[in-house]
Amino acid sequence: MKRFSGSLAQLALFIAVGLALPLLPGTNFSLLITLLLFIGLATSWDILGGWTGQTSLGHAAFVGIGAYALALGTNRLGLDAISAVQLGVGVAVLFALLWGSLTFGLRGSYFTLSTIAIAEILRLAAINEAWFTGGSAGLFISSLPEPFGLDLFERRVEYYLALVYAASVLACVMWFASGRFGYEMRAVREDEAAAQASGINPTRIKLRAFALSGALTALGGGVYGAYLSFLDPHNLFFLPLSVQIALTAIIGGRGTVWGPALGATLLILPAELFRSVFAEANLLIYGLLILIVTLFVPRGLIGELERYLLRRRYAREQG
Amino acid sequence: MVRSQVVKPRRVNVTPWVILFGVVALIAARVVYLLSTGTYELAFFAGALLSALQLGSLYALIALGYTLVYGIIRLINFAHGEVFMVGAFASYFLFANTPYALPWAVFTAGIASAGLMYALNLWRGKLSDPVVLVGGVVGFAGITYALSVASLGWIWAMVLSMLVTGVVGILLDRIAYRPLRGAPRISLLITAIAMSFFMQNAGLLLFTRNQTPFRPETSWTQFLQFPLAGSTVYTSRMVVLIPLVTLLLVTILTLFVSRTRLGKAMRATAQDPEVAQMMGVNVDRVIATTFFLGSVLAAAAGVLWGLNFGSLTQPAVFGLLPGLKAFAAAVIGGIGSLPGAVIGGLLLGFLENFVPALFSGVTEYKDTFAFFLLIIILLIRPSGIIGEDLSEKV
């Protein structure tokens, strides 16, 4: 069965559009960077949340780890930018493995609760350990090393970084979606007992998905950190960011390749648009929008589309 | 939805009790140690214990809302923290203003009396019942008069705010949850989050200040001191008021659930919604009642919270952390159980206000205690301290 799961041609089209956009006059780089970052973050979240079916509301922790690793690694430990991001990814993997082995015994909404709790603990640690993290006042990244002579504070550079990030996360998901790992994850999502009966170790698959998801999220966190250049623990580790990442993926359609990307496009663009039109009330409308989509499109946009296509094909085959 | 009920032989898990006993022993030993070295006097601990009771009661009131809703429809009402916020700000709106201009008075009274009628309607069963109609008309006239002649005292503001917030709770269910009965849980989670986004930002449009002073005219916020064992305990009169109001509300709630017809219907729905429906219970009405009750308690907590701290933070964050913590308290106590929510709330208050008094090094981390305890409880006993076994069958 051919799934509506994307192909290299689609990815190529995505990259081509991404490369072409800055050539247009009057490009709003901040908006596009935010958009690309959220495409990457939501797709990373979806590896655990959609493909493996473990709804996490703690992914902001990984964004925070990535961003803080960049800032602290370069400014306190004297690393170059690339090693600092690598450090962040490494820490995120270790953290995800530890976190997962602690909490994967919990099912469904209990797992979700534990993710909220752990991210919250991490946030308060980032606020309280001011000697290391800058504390509640936040952390300014005043200077960054320039890998390959690239100025990481320049919006255009950040844009291409974000594009590379989003495209590689999408490529990663595409690569495993049709492979063995993708099937294993879906098997765990649909029925853990049945998956176990067919020789899959559910905990191992979940741990692997969590580590991958966390690593890619931390990578995005590094780019996000360079883009923000001011790290606020009240934002980076906090529940609203986790919720935003998760919602983006869910509304687009979880467990699909392009769902999270579509969700990001549909959520980030209006949110930014409303910000300029409605000023204070932008998130008000954002909330309403989410409500309406969930009430009328419960499977997410790509999910409903897939279902529609499947039904049509079924009807045709049945004559 | 079929929920399989497997009858298992009752097996007592001793681990949580061992941990509980260990923690209590540790705390007792520390108290004795600090007393014996003369670092602190008994009065100091009494004061800390009282303030723990004060905060714990507030958490308990909020946690009851989570546990009520979860007990009936197995839904984690993520927007409950925002309901609590609405309660606090609605009461501020009611008492802080000078006498209302007539249109405003009519408008506010209209909303409040609609809420009153809805509540009476839940009780009497039909809208055309004389009690509902008379109650609505009298309520409308009375509230209009009260608002347009003088600004309200905090007690009336609290009562009205509880009514209004109760209606907000019913609307929340009506808009965001009822259309999704039978849908996957994740959809309910998303609409809950969407509603809390909406309420946070609607609040932000009305109250943009970082701190809204919350100081109605009352003597309850004054200091209170009394002698104990040769020294003096310093506290405020809130330490009497908050547990008292909590006790009153919890008693009313318990009586309602255990004695009234609607309470019986609630218990039946909690056990099995389908069978309850077959027995003639109007399940939608029961769920609306549940949201009403939970929101009323949250509003009371909101007003007391405001009185206790003297100001409200901005609406976007006001309900977030208290809501999360109270929710943790509900799970810790055993979600779905009313005594569990109270015990969880009090325990959390104790951890946050008493334990830092003993171990000064952990003060900065007291906001994490709720979450640490939540994870520990989830791992060793997901049903909570006294909850029934609700281990999820996904």
Domains and CATH numbers, chain A: 2-18+27-318 (1.10.3470)
Residues B115, B120, B123, CA angle at the centre, nearest 5°?
Answer: 135
pLDDT, tens digit, for every residue of B218-271?
Answer: 777 777 777 777 777 777 888 889 999 999 999 999 999 999 888 999 999 988
Q: At what angle do helices B320-333 and B80-95 cross, to 10 degrees?
A: 130
Lowest-confidence pick of A150-164, A207-221, B241-255, B286-300: A150-164
Distances (CA, A) of B382 to A107, A231, B335: 10, 35, 9
Condensed to tens digits (0 to 9), the pLDDT of residues B364-375 reads 788 888 888 888
Predicted confidence at residue B120, as pLDDT, reads 76
B208: helix, strand or coil? coil
> Are A109 and B185 inside 8 Å of each other by CB?
yes
Q: Is B32 in the A-facing interface, judged by CB distances under 8 Å?
A: no
In this predicted structure, what is the pLDDT of residue B343?
92
Q: Write down the pLDDT at residue B196.
A: 86
Q: What does each C-alpha distance from B281 to A84, A90, A200, B63, B255 come to in angstroms?
A: 61, 56, 45, 26, 19
Nearest to A216 by CA among A12, A3, A51: A51
A284 contacts B202? CB cut-off 8 A:
yes
Q: Please count the residues of chain B.
A: 394
User: CB distance B328–A288 less than 8 Å?
Assistant: no
Q: Which amino acid is at A32?
A: L
Q: How far apart are CA B216 and CA B307, in angstroms?
A: 8
Pick the residue with more confidence: B381 or B161? B161
CB contact under 8 A, B324 and A102: no
Report whether pLDDT(A66) > 90: yes
Across the interface, of A106, A128, A294, the residue whose CB is closest to B378 is: A106
Question: Which residues in chain B have their CB less than 8 angstroms from residue A55's CB?
Answer: 186, 189
| Residue B217: how many other CB atoms lie within 10 Å | 9
- Say how many CA atoms lie within 13 Å of B161 toward its Cβ: 30
Is residue B394 scored above 50 in pLDDT?
no
User: Of A109, A117, A284, which has the smallest distance from its Cβ to B201's Cβ?
Assistant: A284
Are A239 and B324 in contact (CB < 8 Å)?
yes
CB contact under 8 A, A247 and B190: yes
Coil, strand or helix at A70: helix
- Using a CB-CB cut-off of 8 Å, the residues of chain A touching B197 are 283-284, 286-287, 290
pLDDT value at B3 more than 70: no
SS (H, E, C) A42-59: HHHHHHHHHHCCCCCCCC
SS3 B98: coil
Alpha carbon dihedral A128, A133, A134, A138, in 10-degree steps, equals -90
- Indicate the pLDDT class of residue B9, thresholds 50, 70 and 90: low
With a cut of 90, say whether residue A55 has pLDDT above it.
no
* Residue A209 Cα, gap to closest chain B Cα (Å): 19
| Diameter of chain B measured on Cα atoms | 70
What are the E-state strand segments in A243-288? none
Show the tokens assigned to B54: 């004060």
pLDDT at position B388: 61
| CA distances to A300, B343, B380, B385 from B14, in Å | 44, 19, 10, 11
User: Residue B387 — pLDDT band, cuts 50, 70, 90?
Assistant: low
Query: Over 80: is that where the pLDDT of A32 sits?
Result: yes
Mean pLDDT for all residues in chain B: 83
Beta bridge partners of A140: A230
The residue with tokens 């802080």 is B96
Determine the residue type at B71.
G
Q: How confident is the model at residue B390 (pLDDT cuts 50, 70, 90)?
A: very low
Mean pLDDT of B343-353: 92
Distance CA B337, CA B339 (A): 6
| Nearest-CA distance A67 → chain B (Å) | 22
Q: Report residue A217's pLDDT band, with 50, 70 and 90 as the boundaries.
A: very high
pLDDT band at A89 (very low <50, low <70, confident <90, very high): very high
Using CA atoms, how far apart are residues B82 and B203, in angstroms rounded to an integer? 9
Q: CA nearest A240: which of A199, A203, A202, A286? A: A286
Compute the residue count for chain A.
319
Domain boundaries, chain B: 49-74+243-385
User: How many Å apart are CA A57 and CA A34, to the nearest integer?
Assistant: 20
Q: What is the pLDDT of residue B335?
A: 85
Averaged pLDDT, A123-146: 79
Distance from CA of B67 to the nearest CA of A (A): 15
Which of A155-159, B18-22, B270-274 shows the lowest mean pLDDT across its residues? B18-22
Residue A300 gets the label, from left (phi > 0), alpha (psi -120 to 50) or beta, of left
Per-residue pLDDT at A278 = 64
Average pLDDT over residues B50-64: 93
Q: For residue A99, what is the nearest residue in chain B, using CA coordinates?
A: B375
Bridge partner list, B312: B212
Q: Nearest residue of A to residue B195 by CA position?
A: A287
**CB within 8 Å: B191 and A247:** no
Chain segment B168-217, per-residue pLDDT in tens: 898 899 888 888 887 777 778 888 888 888 888 888 887 877 888 888 77
A107, A109, A280: residue with CB nearest B204 = A280
Gap between the Cα atoms of A90 and B18, Å rounded: 37
Q: For the CA atoms of chain B, what is the radius of gyration? A: 22
Determine how many CB atoms are found less than 10 A away from the CB of residue B79.
29
Q: B171 — contact with chain A (CB < 8 Å)?
A: no
pLDDT (average), residues B343-359: 88
- Using pLDDT thresholds of 50, 70 and 90, give the confidence band for residue B1: very low
B227's torsion region: left (phi>0), alpha (psi -120 to 50) or beta?
beta
pLDDT digits (tens, 9 = 90+) for B12-39: 666 667 877 888 888 888 888 888 887 7
pTM above 0.95, yes or no: no
Cβ A15 vs Cβ A162: under 8 Å = no
Q: What is the pLDDT of residue B60?
A: 95
CB atoms within 10 A of CB A114: 24
Compute the C-alpha angle B380/B384/B385, nearest 5°.
Answer: 100
- How confident is the model at residue B290, as a pLDDT? 93
Run of H or E including A231:
strand A230-231
- With a CB cutoff of 8 Å and minimum separation 6, the contacts of B113 are B136, B137, B139, B140, B143
* Ramachandran class of A45: left when φ > 0, alpha when ψ lies in -120 to 50, beta otherwise: alpha
Q: How many CB atoms lie within 10 A of CB B244?
A: 11
Q: Do A298 and B183 touch (CB under 8 A)?
A: yes
| Spatial distance between the Cα atoms of A220 and A71, rounded to a whole number of angstroms | 14
Show residues of chain B in contact with A105, CB under 8 Å.
Answer: 379
DSSP string, B318-376: HTHHHHHHHHHHHHHH-TT-HHHHHHHHHHHHHHHHTHHHH-GGGGGGGGGHHHHHHHH
**pLDDT tens, residue by residue, B288-330:** 999 999 999 999 999 999 999 888 888 888 888 899 899 999 9
Q: What is the pLDDT of residues B62-108, one digit of tens each?
A: 999 999 999 888 888 889 999 999 999 988 877 776 666 777 778 87
- Cβ within 8 Å, pair A291-B371: no
CA-based Rg of chain A, rounded to a whole angstrom?
A: 20
ipTM exceeding 0.85?
A: no
pLDDT at A212: 94
Report for A164-178, A301-315, B26-40, B99-113: range of highest mean pLDDT: A164-178
Does the CB of B187 have a partner CB in chain A at under 8 Å? Answer: yes
A117 in Cβ contact with B376 (< 8 Å): no
Provide, rounded to the nearest whole percent, the portion of chain B with pLDDT above 70. 91
- The stretches of B183-337 forming alpha helices (DSSP H) are 185-206, 238-259, 261-271, 273-278, 283-309, 315-318, 320-333
For B366, the closest chain A residue by CA position comes to A124
Nearest by CB to A110, from B175, B189, B382: name it. Answer: B382
**CB–CB contact A284 B372 (8 Å):** no
Residue A164, C-beta contacts closer than 8 angstroms, at least 6 positions apart:
none
Identify the residue among B67, B74, B77, B190 best suited for mutation to test binding to A, counting A beta carbons within 10 A and taking the highest: B190
Nearest to A208 by CA among A246, A241, A180: A180
* Residue A4 reports pLDDT greater than 60: no
How many angstroms away from the CA of A234 is the closest CA of chain B? 11
**Which of the two residues, B392 and A276, has the higher pLDDT score?**
A276
- The backbone torsions φ and ψ at residue B41, rounded to the nearest 5 degrees and listed phi first, read -100, 170
Distance CA A306, CA A295 (A): 18
Number of helices (H), then strands (E), belonging to chain B: the values are 16, 4
> Hey, are the CB atoms on B198 and A288 less than 8 Å from each other?
yes
| Residue B139 confidence (pLDDT) | 82
Report d(CA B212, CA B324) in Å as an integer.
22
